């Protein structure tokens, strides 16, 4: 479904600040795979997301979706296959527009945007139905400006918007990191049920070790722009936080350092 | 001037300039793009219409051509900014300067008079036909801003990263927005030229500030709950601006040439007042809330709610 072949990315090439963001990344995901990604600060997790979604182009290597080479396509063209939720709750929605307008924009993903009305009665029924499944009462507030919602509500809406046109690939970029524990738990639960229900191929970056182990069927660990550990479903079953930390130290030769790291 | 005729005069020119204000609203408020093309494209609209009317074209066609001229000018600014990656302010300034020469080419001389020639106001008075045009333009503009493309355009100014992740080409939406904005500005120029019976090369000087003043006054007086409300407020703001200017000019020691200074002062007041008021309000609210929370805390001797 998703393939990265020999992808490399340099920041500030040929300057004193040169940094290897990604180095020869090789990642193949099967349809329905739910891969969690952990790694230290600057390991290349966000760069990986940006390369897949097309925000950045790889210096070498290619990105394939459904066996089609999409390396040359800009972000807005790739979005027909990719849904994305960002870490910042403000990033995934338009604050000065209403809930239904935001949903209408998500609904238009992958379609030609023309002059027909964005929000129609028929769509409104659909929006209400999807919103009510979030279980936080947003279906009563279709006309509310999204800027008036709390961080958790906005992130739940972002998640719905990223998934409800059934994308081939879902990218979650530490999407619960900016929320308080209760709201993070709600979003995690919603994520789990949506991904399972729609059988989405998902790549989730997280700083929560326990979450990385509990969710998904595969876990990869990144360090210094490389994938240093790739744990499949079988081995993931009896993985613990301690064992994971131990393996990381053994392979990378240093302690896992992430100032926001949550052990679970 | 009779007792109340100046008011009707203000309403009339307020409505004529309202299209320009709506154009400024699209760039400044919706796209969050400070577009200075306006000073040039206003004259472009006036010039094209004026010259076409002197050459015997129908006033309606001449007006549409003026509008189209603005669309093209705006699209150029949009292209400079998005494809040329030139800073937004700079692309507008470049286009404004370029348009000065282009406008002179169109006019052929600094002033073109269409006095006594057919205009769209020949058979119907401006005060009757302009409100009709305003309602049509408001209707079409709002219909557009609530369409799929319109939503993408609004989101481009609100959260560009988000709408790109949903597949909108934000370069395209910006070009569409800036183009439409300058089309409306040029339409205003085309109508003003016909109302005043001439098109002059310096007709557009300071338009951007006048447009901004109208937008800000409209928002301050009438509010901006949603897009429809906002656009109507802008039109009304344009009328109020003209009334304020007319009132100011009735003050004895002020001269007509002071108008631009008055405009600048109005905009400065309108820009400074809300932000200082906001800071003051926030401070007051913070004090009040802290006192409240402190009070509750002392009573229950516990912190925060669950």
Beta-carbon separation of B158 and A95 below 8 A: yes
What is residue B178's predicted lDDT score, i.e. its pLDDT?
98
Question: What are the C-alpha distances in Å from A95 to residues A25, A144, B162?
Answer: 36, 10, 11
Q: Is the pLDDT confidence value at B3 over 80?
A: no
Query: Residue B190 in contact with residue B204, Cβ under 8 Å?
Result: no
Indicate the CATH number of B5-250 among 3.20.20.120, 3.90.1150.140, 3.40.50.720, 1.10.3470.10. Answer: 1.10.3470.10
pLDDT level of residue B306 (50, 70, 90 thresholds): very low
Task: Label residue A209 by pLDDT band (50, 70, 90).
Answer: confident
| Confidence class for position B233, pLDDT limits 50, 70, 90 | very high
The predicted structure's pLDDT at residue B14: 96
- For the record, the structure tokens of B296 come out as 């509750």
Q: Whole-model pTM? A: 0.88
How open is the CA angle B113-B117-B119, to the nearest 5 degrees?
A: 100
Nearest-Cα residue of chain B relative to residue A182? B306
If you write DSSP's letter for every residue of A211-254 in order, what string do you get?
A: HHHHSSSEEEEEETTEEEEEE-HHHHHT--HHHHHHHHHHHHSS
Q: Is the pLDDT of residue B1 over 60?
A: no
Which tops the pLDDT comparison, A41 or B284? B284
At residue A101 the predicted structure's pLDDT band, cuts being 50, 70 and 90, is very high
Phi and psi torsions of A36, nearest 5°: -100, 145
Q: From residue A142, give the alpha-carbon distance in Å to each of A99, A104, A115, B283.
A: 5, 11, 22, 32
pLDDT digits (tens, 9 = 90+) for A128-176: 999 998 989 999 999 999 999 999 999 999 999 999 888 999 999 999 9
Mean pLDDT, rounded, for A240-261: 79
Reduced DSSP (H G I as helix, E B as strand, rest coil) percent helix, strand, coil of chain A, to 5: 35, 25, 40
CB pairs under 8 A between A and B: 90
Q: Please judge whether A114 and B168 are an interchain contact, meaning their C-beta atoms are less than 8 angstroms apart.
A: no
A217 touches chain B (CB under 8 A): no
> pLDDT tens for residues B26-72?
999 999 999 999 999 999 999 999 999 999 999 999 999 999 999 99
- Is the pLDDT confidence value at A2 over 50? yes
Bigger pLDDT: B247 vs A203: A203
Mean pLDDT, rounded, of chain B: 92
Chain B positions touching A108 (Cβ under 8 A) are 148, 151-152, 166-167
Q: Rounded distance, CA B34 to CA B24, Å?
A: 8
Alpha helices, H only, A37-180: 45-53, 75-78, 99-107, 121-134, 151-163
Q: Where are the domains of chain A?
A: 2-93+151-252
Is it the case that residue B10 has pLDDT exceeding 90? Answer: yes
Put simply, whether A75 touches B (Cβ < 8 Å) is: yes
Chain B contact present for A182, CB below 8 A: no
Long-range Cβ contact pairs of B230-236 (< 8 A, separation 24 or more)? B230/B25, B230/B29, B231/B22, B231/B25, B231/B138, B231/B141, B231/B142, B231/B145, B232/B138, B234/B18, B234/B21, B234/B22, B234/B25, B235/B15, B235/B18, B235/B21, B235/B22, B235/B134, B235/B138
- Out of B147, B159, B165, the one facing A95 most closely (by C-beta) is B159
State the Cα–Cα distance between residues B43 and A248, nearest whole angstrom.
67
Q: Contact B270/B213 with Cβ under 8 angstroms?
A: yes
Residue of A90, A104, A109 lying closest to B167 (CB–CB): A109
Minimal-distance CA residue of chain A relative to B227: A97
- Are A92 and A85 a contacting pair, CB within 8 Å? yes
Query: What's the pLDDT score for residue B302?
Result: 47
pLDDT confidence of B300, banded at 50, 70, 90? low
Taking the mean position of all CA atoms in its chain, how far away is CA A69? Answer: 20
User: Which of A76, A90, A180 should be substituted to probe chain B, the one whose Cβ sees the most B Cβ atoms within 10 Å?
Assistant: A76
CA dist B249 and B253 (Å) reads 9
Q: pLDDT value at position A93?
A: 95
pLDDT band at A259 (very low <50, low <70, confident <90, very high): low
Residue of A nearest to B168 (CA): A76
Q: Among the ranges A67-76, A253-262, B169-178, B264-273, which has the highest mean pLDDT value?
A: B169-178
Rounded Cα–Cα distance for residues A118 and B142 (Å)? 12
In Å, how far is B72's CA from the nearest CA of chain A?
A: 20
- Read off the pLDDT band of B185 (50, 70, 90): very high
A50 touches chain B (CB under 8 A): no
The pLDDT value recorded for residue B299 is 60
CA distance B171 to A219: 37
| Entry field: residues in chain A | 264
CATH class, A2-93+151-252 region: alpha beta
- Indicate the residue of A76, A93, A105 with minimum beta-carbon distance to B151: A105
Interface test with B, best of A86, A96, A120, A182 (most B CBs within 10 A): A96
- In chain A, residues with a C-beta closer than 8 Å to the C-beta of B149 are 113-115
Question: For residue A95, with 0-12 CB atoms within 10 Å meaning exposed, 13-18 middle and 19 or more buried, which class applies?
Answer: middle
In this complex, is the C-beta atom of A142 within 8 Å of any C-beta atom belonging to chain B?
no
More confident residue, B271 or A51: A51
* Distance of residue B163 Cα from the nearest chain A Cα, in angstroms: 8
Q: At what angle do helices B88-107 and B38-54 cross, to 10 degrees?
A: 20
Q: Quick one: tokens of A135?
A: 């279980």
Model pLDDT, residue B305? 41
Closest C-alpha to A174, from A187, A163, A164 = A187
Quickly state the pLDDT bin for B304 (edges 50, 70, 90).
very low
CB atoms within 10 A of CB A122: 8
Q: Do A76 and B155 touch (CB under 8 A)?
A: no
Q: Which of A146, A102, A147, A113 is nearest to B144 (CA)?
A: A113
ipTM: 0.87
């Amino acid at each position: 479904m998703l393939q990265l072949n020999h992808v490399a990315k340099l920041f500030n090439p040929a300057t004193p600040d040169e940094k290897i963001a990604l180095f020869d990344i090789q990642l193949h995901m099967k349809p329905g795979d739910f891969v969690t990604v952990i790694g230290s600060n600057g390991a290349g997790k966000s760069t990986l997301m940006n390369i897949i979604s097309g925000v950045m182009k790889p210096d070498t290597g290619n990105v394939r979706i459904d066996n089609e080479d999409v390396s040359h396509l800009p972000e807005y063209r790739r979005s027909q296959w990719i849904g994305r939720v960002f870490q910042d709750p403000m990033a995934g929605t338009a604050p000065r527009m209403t809930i239904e307008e935001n949903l209408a924009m998500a609904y238009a993903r992958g379609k030609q945007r023309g002059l027909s009305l964005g929000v129609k009665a028929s769509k409104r029924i659909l929006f209400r139905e999807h919103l009510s499944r979030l279980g936080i009462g947003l279906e009563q507030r279709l006309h509310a400006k999204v800027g008036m919602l709390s961080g958790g509500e906005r992130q739940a809406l972002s998640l719905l918007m990223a998934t409800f046109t059934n994308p081939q690939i879902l990218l979650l970029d530490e999407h619960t990191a900016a929320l308080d524990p209760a709201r993070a738990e709600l979003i995690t639960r919603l994520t789990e049920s949506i991904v399972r229900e729609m059988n989405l191929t998902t790549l989730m970056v997280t700083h929560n070790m326990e979450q990385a182990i509990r969710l998904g069927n595969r876990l990869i660990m990144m360090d210094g722009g490389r994938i240093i550990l790739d744990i499949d479903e079988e081995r993931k079953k009896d993985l613990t936080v301690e064992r994971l930390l131990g393996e990381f130290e053994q392979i990378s030769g240093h302690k896992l350092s992430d100032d926001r790291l949550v052990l679970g | 001037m009779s007792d109340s005729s100046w008011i009707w005069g203000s309403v009339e020119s307020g409505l004529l300039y309202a299209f320009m204000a709506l154009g400024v609203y699209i760039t400044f408020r919706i796209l969050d793009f400070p577009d200075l093309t306006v000073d040039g494209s206003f004259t472009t609209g006036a010039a094209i219409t004026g010259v076409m009317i002197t050459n015997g074209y129908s006033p309606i066609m001449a007006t549409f051509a003026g509008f189209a001229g603005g669309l093209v000018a705006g699209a150029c600014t949009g292209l400079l900014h998005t494809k040329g990656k030139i800073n937004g302010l700079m692309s507008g300034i470049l286009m404004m300067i370029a348009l000065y020469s282009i406008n002179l080419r169109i006019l052929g001389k600094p002033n073109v008079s269409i006095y006594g020639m057919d205009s769209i106001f020949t058979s119907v008075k401006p005060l009757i036909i302009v409100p009709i045009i305003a309602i049509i333009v408001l209707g079409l503009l709002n219909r557009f801003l609530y369409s799929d493309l319109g939503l993408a355009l609004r989101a481009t100014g609100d959260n560009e990263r988000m709408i790109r992740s949903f597949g909108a080409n934000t370069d395209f939406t910006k070009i569409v927005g800036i183009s439409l904005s300058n089309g409306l500005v040029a339409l205003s120029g085309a109508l003003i030229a016909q109302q005043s019976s001439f098109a002059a090369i310096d007709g557009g000087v300071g338009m951007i500030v006048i447009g901004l003043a109208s937008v800000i006054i409209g928002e301050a007086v009438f509010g901006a709950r949603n897009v429809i409300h906002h656009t109507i407020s802008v039109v009304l703001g344009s009328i109020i601006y003209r009334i304020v200017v007319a009132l100011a000019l009735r003050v004895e020691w002020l001269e007509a040439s002071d108008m631009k200074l008055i405009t600048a002062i109005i905009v400065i007041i309108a820009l400074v007042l809300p932000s200082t008021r906001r800071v003051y309000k926030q401070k007051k609210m913070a004090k009040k809330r802290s006192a409240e929370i402190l009070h509750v805390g002392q009573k229950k001797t516990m912190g925060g709610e669950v």
